[in-house]
Amino acid sequence: MPFYVTTPIYYVNAAPHLGHAYTTIAADVLARHHRQLGEEVFFLTGTDEHGEPVAEAARAAGIEPKELADRNAARFKELLPRLLATNDFFIRTTDPQHEAKVREVLAAVRERGYVYKGTYEGWYCPRCADFKGEGDLGEGNTCPIHHVPLLREREENYFFALSRFQGQLEELYERNPAFVAPAVRYNEALSFIKAGLRDVPLTRRRLRWGVTVPWDADHVFYVWFDALLNYYTALTYAPTAQGGPDRFWPPTVHLIAKDILRFHAVYWPALLLAAGLELPKQVFVHGYLLMEGEKMSKSLGNVLDPLAVIERFGADALRYYLLRDVPFGQDGSVSTTAFELRYEAELANELGNLASRTFGMIGRYRDGVVPVAALDRELAEGLFAGFPEGVAQRLSRVELTGALEYIWERVRGLNRYVEQQAPWQLAKDPGAAQRLDIVLASLACGVRAVAIALWPYLPAAMDRLLEALGVAGRSLSLAHFAPGPPLGGRLGELSALFPKGEVGAGREARR
Ligand code: MSP
């Protein structure tokens, strides 16, 4: 089975911020990891370009929605290589092929009897592009997320018969407790379903900026149905999706934040059932990155610019920090101070030093050639027993922080090993030459193991390290603590993996 991972498609009403980068980075780590396992991978991201949030922002800027969409989609797209994201395709919902496929699928849903005409009356948030039940109104009929006044809407719409899927969705949740993870989000989605599903508008009459409805030109599709279908339509025309939906459908995991849980955990499986398409295996819901306790969001204006962080510290450091500091699946605060602390204490001092002292000692005591020797059993049977499997098990549960901590215990363990073995003492004793060979060979293979396991998180630095070690592949099997390259090889040049000056330079730049 191929591994198919998606991010939400991001709204183009503003520029990308760290929150968007977060999900994309997480998806990239999974994509790289599954490629390391030798699996065929499809990694999809893109932009959600229709609907009221975009139309409103364009009106405010005095330009056409498409012009705004082009401008901001380009910024989302440009961010990807800067994050070192290896997405296989970038979908834009204004792609004509996407629009045509949306019409086709939703016309089929109507043919199958799940669409009817009715009148919607209720509250609506133009920022969320979402209808609000009486239960989720903020004070004074405001949006609880955006704090803006809600609109009272009365509109003749086509409805999607969501309520008819009540039983099937309950069964799905019953049968598949991993359909939504973590468990707290599963419970949230299930209680939403159990509270009783109501039919939802499938089209909007008042809006023009959207995919026109094939059976009624006065309507466009409600943006969420157009958007959700991206996960399917992309496979029908992405040149990189060789074999199309037959090959890659259904998605292995959709990564989202909890703000869009209901759409992915309730509407989406119902829509797929209505269309007769197979359901995704899992929706994994991460938490919010918070700044001073509030969700980072463009409408709240409290955003960190990922590009500025990358410019100062590099993409690896950003990737590492976000997945390390905020347990994946929970909310967590981010700050420049915490970032700098982890950069210095963990990346520079723990990982950077491990690499530089290993290279330094092999240079000094063995003229840069890694000795061919048996590996230390203490490490093989202790610290590194079952190592790649331990990483893979955690990542199969999307425990991105858990896997990173697990790898990091080995980084720390190798530093402890250096202290305990004190190669500088062994080097003074001619009788200990064989022991020194074992220690240096074990260190080199230990560094290879952690570098391979860290490669999905820190691709640029680990590519440098592995190249200097003379390790050509990136397969996770190279994370086995066993003889292999670089034993017997000459080490290449390795400049500091995480120069400490970067932090100082950052401080300077901010003054
Ligand atoms: N366009 C819809 C999604 C359609 S998917 C079929 C949308 N777009 S969005 O631009 O608002 O992006 C929301 C997503 O961005 C979240 O689900 C999450 O993946 C990411 N994040 C945005 N802000 C975030 C934080 N502050 N923290 C964590 N993730 C954040 O909703």
Indicate if the pLDDT at residue 301 is higher than 70: no
- Does 509 have pLDDT greater than 50? no
Q: Give the SS3 label for residue 459.
A: helix
Report pLDDT for 412. 98
State the amino acid at position 300 in one-letter form. L
Phi, psi of 452 (to 5 degrees): -65, -45
Under 8 Å between Cβ of 13 and 56: yes
The 10s digit of each residue's pLDDT in 230-251 is: 999 999 999 999 999 999 999 9
Cα–ligand 1 centroid distance for 327 (angstroms): 18
Task: Identify the pLDDT of residue 337.
Answer: 83
Whose CA is closest to atom 17 on ligand 1?
A: 257
Atom from ligand 1 closest to the CA of residue 11: 10
Q: What's the pTM value of the predicted model, to 2 decimals?
A: 0.94
Mean pLDDT of 292-299: 64
User: Model confidence over 337-383: pLDDT tens digits?
Assistant: 888 899 999 999 999 999 999 999 999 999 999 999 999 999 999 99
Ligand 1 centroid to 260 CA: how many Å? 7
Pocket test for ligand 1, best of 12, 92, 254, 260 (most atoms within 8 A of CB): 260
Question: What pLDDT sits at residue 308?
Answer: 78
What pLDDT, in 10s, does the model give residues 58-68? 999 999 999 99
**pLDDT at residue 428 tops 90:** yes
Q: What is the Å distance from ligand 1's center to 224 Cα?
A: 13
Q: Which residue among 23, 146, 291 is best mutated to probe the pocket of ligand 1, counting the most ligand atoms within 8 A of its Cβ?
A: 23
Q: In angstroms, rounded to a whole number, what is the distance separating the alpha carbons of residues 361 and 6?
A: 44
Q: What confidence tens digit (pLDDT) does each residue in 438-490 have?
A: 999 999 999 999 999 999 999 999 999 999 999 999 999 999 999 999 999 99
Atom of ligand 1 nearest to the CA of 288: 27
Q: Give the distance (Å) from ligand 1 centre to CA of residue 347.
A: 28
Whose alpha carbon is nearest atom 13 of ligand 1? Answer: 10
Query: Does residue 328 register a pLDDT over 70?
Result: yes
Residues recorded for the chain: 511
State the distance between the two ends of the chain, measured CA to CA, in whole angstroms: 52
Is omega for the bond preceding 486 within 30 degrees of 0, making it cis?
yes
The single-letter DSSP state of residue 478 is G
Closest residue by Cα to residue 400 from 36, 27, 83: 27
Distance in Å, CA 457 to ligand 1 centroid: 21
Helix (H, G, I), strand (E, B) or coil at 99: helix
The span from the CA of 230 to the CA of 433, in Å, is: 61
As a whole number, mean pLDDT of residues 391-397 equals 98
* Nearest CA, atom 15, ligand 1: 20
- Give percent of the chain with pLDDT exceeding 90: 82
Indicate which residue's Cα is closest to atom 24 of ligand 1. 19
Q: Name 160's bridge partners.
A: 115, 200
pLDDT mean across residues, the chain: 93
pLDDT interval class at 272 (50, 70, 90): very high
pLDDT at 129: 77
Distances (CA, A) of 461 to 454, 481, 499, 508: 9, 20, 11, 24
What is the mean pLDDT of the segment spanning 276-282? 98
Domain ranges of the chain: 3-304, 340-510
| Structure-token match 């099997």, residue found | 477
Name the architecture of domain 3-304.
3-Layer(aba) Sandwich (3.40)
Closest CA to 456 of 22, 25, 3: 25
- Residue 295 pLDDT class (50, 70, 90 cuts): low
Closest by alpha carbon to 93, among 38, 61, 50? 50
Q: Tell me how far the alpha carbon of residue 293 lies from the centroid of ligand 1, in angstroms.
A: 17
Residue 507 has pLDDT above 50, yes or no: no
Among 5, 9, 10, 50, the mutation site with the greatest number of ligand 1 atoms within 8 A of its Cβ is: 10
Rg of the chain taking only CA atoms, in angstroms: 26
Q: Give catalytic residues, as residue numbers.
A: 17, 20, 125, 128, 143, 146, 295, 298
Residue 506: pLDDT above 60? no
Which residue minimizes the CA distance to atom 25 of ligand 1? 19
Probe target for ligand 1 pocket from 7, 18, 24, 48, with the most ligand atoms within 8 Å of CB: 48
Nearest CA to ligand 1 atom 26: 296
User: How far apart (Å, rounded) are the C-alpha atoms in residues 91 and 82?
Assistant: 18
Q: Mean pLDDT throughout 259-274?
A: 97
Tell whether the model's pLDDT for residue 503 goes beyond 80.
Answer: no
pLDDT recorded at residue 504: 46
What is the residue with the minimal CA distance to atom 22 of ligand 1? 19
The structure tokens listed for 378 are 């203490």
- Got the DSSP string for 167-227? HHHHHHHHH-TTSEESHHHHHHHHHHHHT----EE-EESS--SSPEETTEEEEEE-HHHHH
How confident is the model over 75-103, as a mean pLDDT? 98
Cα 45 to middle of ligand 1, angstroms: 12
What is the average pLDDT across 498-511? 55
Residue 48: enclosing H or E segment and its boundaries?
Answer: strand 41-48
H or E element that contains 404: helix 400-421
The encoded tokens of residue 272 equal 């797929």
CATH topology of domain 340-510: Isoleucyl-tRNA Synthetase; Domain 1 (1.10.730)
Calculate the alpha carbon distances from 27 to 150, 328, 447 in Å: 33, 12, 25
Residue 93 reports pLDDT greater than 90: yes
Say if CB 91 and CB 234 are below 8 A apart.
Answer: yes
Q: What percent of the chain has pLDDT over 70?
A: 95
Distance 20 CA to ligand 1 centre (A): 6
The pLDDT, as a whole number, for residue 329 is 97
Residue 298 pLDDT: 59
Residues with CB under 6 A from ligand 1: 8-11, 19-20, 22-23, 48, 227-228, 230, 256-257, 259-260, 288-289, 295-297
pLDDT for residue 276: 98
